[in-house]
Amino acid sequence: MAQTEKKGGLLRKSSASKKPLKEKVVLMYDEIFTTEDPSKCNPRFWEELFLMKVNLEYLEGKLEALDGEELMKIKDNINCLFQHCIQALSEEHPIRVVNALQVPR
């Protein structure tokens, strides 16, 4: 059985013939970094996001790679991310609270 290696948001099979897979949380982060509202196709997007362990390394890398123009294009989604972080802090679900606290670090 192939071993799984986790690095930079990728789940990689040790077999060279397999295409690398991304973690679900990384795929969701990628949706935030598009100009579309990520909750448009998935109304539970934000609830699901905060149930998953934060991949801070990937998220920080994506933010640092943006220039000013790119950042302005996704400003609404970034604002939405932080707004939902704040909302998640008032929830009773401890996993959502912990994950919401880790995003804005």
Sequence spans of domains, the chain: 24-103
* C-alpha dihedral sign at 71, 31, 40, 45: negative
DSSP for the chain?
-PPEEEETTEEEESSTTSPPEE-HHHHHHHHHTSSS-TTTT-TTHHHHHTTSPP-HHHHHHHHHH--HHHHHHTHHHHHHHHHHHHHHHTSS-HHHHHHHHHTT-
Interval 33-65: pLDDT, tens:
999 999 999 999 999 999 999 999 999 999 999
Say if residue 88's pLDDT is above 80.
Answer: yes
- 10-13 and 21-22 strand pairing: antiparallel
User: Hey, what are 86's tokens?
Assistant: 């704040």
Structure confidence at residue 103 as a pLDDT band (50, 70, 90): confident
Q: How many CA atoms lie within 13 A of 86 on its CB side?
A: 5
